[in-house]
């Protein structure tokens, strides 16, 4: 009996050692071969002291934005006098209708070689074609990684001088909820971490990182994981119906910053419109996030209520993207909208903003 027990223990020990050795071999192989897609724009393109912004590009340069999923492995983006993409803010001065689009990487045109494919930019182009001879100017004030505090300062320190009658704020549910303490940190203390300072622990599991990357990079696998009961809490916490901390605090700070931005725009005689960009997981796995615990519509409902109470135009893009449902709406690995995804959103935006722009045109004085 004892000899049998010893044999069983020996076999279990051999199996355990074999499993550990196999896992170690897989880990070494993955570390040597796997290159995760991480937001990494070279620090040489950024200003050393961007405060109060989280970060700012150096003006009048050409930036390479590495994106493995687009032709050429990334974008080469020329920046204007203000360090922004597209027509300079100075060019708005003589226009009858002046529009500024503020936001993060979605508004910046992440993954788009042609800024004209970005949905807000394209919507304004469509409006011009539908209203021949109407003098409409648009400038984009956006950088990848910006958040709510950056949007506020983008208006008061950059866009305000152009006297826009319409400010279109692009809000991305994935990371635009303000972190607790964002308001109290404005103007004092240590600036937020730069994109290049995001470090990864040497003790992380590259194998688990690879598995997460495979799931995140596939709408089909994402749906399967959710159907199997997997709930990545960090990504999905914002959709929990009971809203555990710090979500309520993040919403209070976010809406306070939005209120402050809206007040500044109104004081200058302008209008605010909010475009809500959904995440890939909302579009392709919405039915797995509609139960007693989760509601994929929560963010849009909260924003819609905020906008209704203040007379702000609200443009949710989620319904149109769900109705389309094709997998080529997003770049699978970095989860930004593709040109076709932007094209779907473009139609929604032009329909929502056309009456707003028509009213601005009727009330606008002659071009200065």
Q: What CATH number did the domain enclosing 170 receive?
A: 3.40.50.1110
Q: Give dist(CA 108, CA 115) in Å, integer.
A: 8
pLDDT of residue 196: 39
Read off the pLDDT of each residue in 3-14 and give the average, rounded to a whole number.
Answer: 71
- Based on the domain organization, do 26 and 127 belong to the same domain? no
Residues 6 or more apart whose CB falls under 8 angstroms from that of 186 comprise: 52, 149
- Based on the domain organization, do 20 and 114 belong to the same domain? no
Q: Is residue 53 part of a domain?
A: no
Would you place residue 213 in the very low, low, confident or very high pLDDT band (cuts 50, 70, 90)?
low
Tens-place pLDDT, residues 267-319: 999 999 999 999 998 999 888 888 888 899 999 999 999 999 999 999 999 99
Q: Is residue 73 part of a domain?
A: no
SS3 232: coil
Among 4-13, 34-43, 348-357, the range scoring the smallest mean pLDDT is 34-43
Q: Is residue 211 part of a domain?
A: yes
Read off the pLDDT of each residue in 201-224 and give the average, rounded to a whole number.
Answer: 54
- Based on the domain organization, do 13 and 92 belong to the same domain? no
- Based on the domain organization, do 18 and 92 belong to the same domain? no
Q: Could you give the residue ranges of the DSSP H alpha helices within the chain?
A: 2-33, 105-108, 119-130, 148-157, 206-216, 219-227, 233-236, 247-267, 280-284, 298-308, 318-324, 339-363
Indicate the pairing of strand 74-78 with strand 62-66. Answer: antiparallel
Q: What are phi and psi of 175, to 5 degrees?
A: -150, 20
Asked if pLDDT for residue 216 goes beyond 60, the answer is: no
Eight-state DSSP code of residue 334: T
- Based on the domain organization, do 20 and 104 belong to the same domain? no
pLDDT of residue 235: 67
pLDDT of residue 281: 87
Read off the pLDDT of each residue in 332-361 and give the average, rounded to a whole number.
Answer: 95
Within 10 angstroms of residue 232's Cβ, the number of other Cβ atoms is 14
pLDDT of residue 230: 54
Tens-place pLDDT, residues 106-159: 999 999 999 999 999 999 999 999 999 999 999 999 999 899 999 999 999 999
Q: Is residue 76 part of a domain?
A: no
pLDDT of residue 32: 62
Asked if pLDDT for residue 68 goes beyond 70, the answer is: yes
Would you place residue 356 in the very low, low, confident or very high pLDDT band (cuts 50, 70, 90)?
very high
Q: Is residue 368 part of a domain?
A: no
Nearest in space to 106 (alpha carbons), one of 90, 118, 117, 114: 118
Q: What is the chain's Cα-based Rg?
A: 24
Q: Give dist(CA 340, CA 329) in Å, integer.
A: 6
Tens-place pLDDT, residues 83-107: 999 999 999 988 999 999 999 999 9
Tokens encoding 113: 């070689």
For 32-176, strand residue ranges (E) read: 62-66, 74-78, 97-103, 136-142, 166-172
- Based on the domain organization, do 108 and 172 belong to the same domain? yes
Compute CA distances 265 → 153, 163, 168, 262, whole Å. Answer: 12, 9, 11, 5
Q: Give dist(CA 175, CA 277) in Å, integer.
A: 11
| 25 burial level (CB within 10 Å; 0-12, 13-18, 19+) | exposed
Q: Which domain holds residue 242?
A: 87-363
Q: Decide if 122 contacts 346 (C-beta within 8 A).
A: yes
Q: Is residue 74 part of a domain?
A: no
Q: Is residue 100 part of a domain?
A: yes
- Based on the domain organization, do 350 and 252 belong to the same domain? yes
- Based on the domain organization, do 193 and 330 belong to the same domain? yes
Nearest in space to 317 (alpha carbons), one of 153, 98, 92, 118: 118
- Based on the domain organization, do 29 and 141 belong to the same domain? no
Q: What is the mean pLDDT of the chain?
A: 85
Q: Give dist(CA 254, CA 276) in Å, integer.
A: 14
pLDDT of residue 199: 44
- Based on the domain organization, do 17 and 105 belong to the same domain? no
Tens-place pLDDT, residues 15-36: 877 877 776 777 666 566 655 5
Structural domains counted in the chain: 2
pLDDT of residue 292: 81
- Based on the domain organization, do 21 and 150 belong to the same domain? no
Read off the pLDDT of each residue in 56-70 and give the average, rounded to a whole number.
Answer: 91
Would you place residue 73 in the very low, low, confident or very high pLDDT band (cuts 50, 70, 90)?
confident
Q: Is residue 312 part of a domain?
A: yes
In DSSP terms, which residues pair with 141 in a beta bridge? 102
With 0.85 as the threshold, say if the pTM is over it. Answer: no
């Amino acid at each position: 009996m004892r000899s049998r027990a010893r044999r069983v223990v020996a076999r279990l020990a051999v199996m355990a050692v074999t499993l550990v050795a196999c896992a170690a071999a897989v880990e070494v192989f993955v570390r040597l071969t796997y290159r995760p897609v991480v937001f990494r724009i070279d620090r040489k393109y950024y200003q050393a002291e961007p405060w109060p912004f989280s970060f700012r590009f150096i003006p009048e340069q050409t930036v390479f934005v590495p994106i493995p999923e687009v032709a050429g492995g990334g974008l080469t983006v020329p920046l204007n006098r203000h360090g922004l993409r597209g027509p300079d803010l100075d060019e708005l001065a003589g226009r009858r209708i002046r529009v500024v689009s503020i936001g993060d990487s979605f508004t910046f045109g992440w993954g788009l070689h042609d800024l004209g494919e970005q949905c807000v930019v394209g919507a304004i182009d469509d409006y011009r074609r539908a209203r021949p001879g109407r003098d409409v100017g648009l400038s984009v004030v956006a950088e990848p990684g910006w958040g709510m505090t950056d949007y506020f300062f983008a208006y008061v320190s950059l866009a305000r001088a152009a006297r826009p009658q319409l400010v279109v704020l692009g809000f991305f549910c994935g990371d635009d909820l303000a972190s607790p303490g964002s308001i109290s940190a404005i103007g004092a203390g240590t600036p937020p971490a730069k994109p290049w300072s995001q470090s990864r622990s040497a003790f992380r599991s590259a194998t688990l990182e690879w598995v997460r990357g495979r799931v995140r990079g596939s709408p089909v696998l994402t749906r399967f994981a959710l159907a199997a009961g997997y709930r990545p809490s960090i990504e999905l916490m914002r959709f929990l119906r009971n809203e555990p901390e710090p979500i309520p605090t993040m919403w209070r700070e976010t809406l306070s910053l939005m209120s402050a931005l809206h007040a500044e725009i109104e004081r200058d005689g302008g209008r605010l419109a909010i475009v809500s960009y959904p995440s890939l997981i909302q579009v392709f796995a919405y039915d797995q996030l509609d139960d007693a615990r989760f509601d994929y519509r929560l963010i849009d409902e909260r924003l819609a209520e905020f906008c209704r109470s203040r007379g702000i135009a609200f443009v949710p893009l989620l319904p149109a993207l769900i109705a389309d449902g094709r997998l080529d709406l997003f770049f699978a690995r970095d989860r930004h909208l593709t040109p076709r995804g932007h094209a779907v959103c473009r139609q929604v935006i032009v329909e929502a903003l056309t009456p707003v722009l028509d009213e601005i045109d009727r009330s606008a004085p002659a071009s200065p």
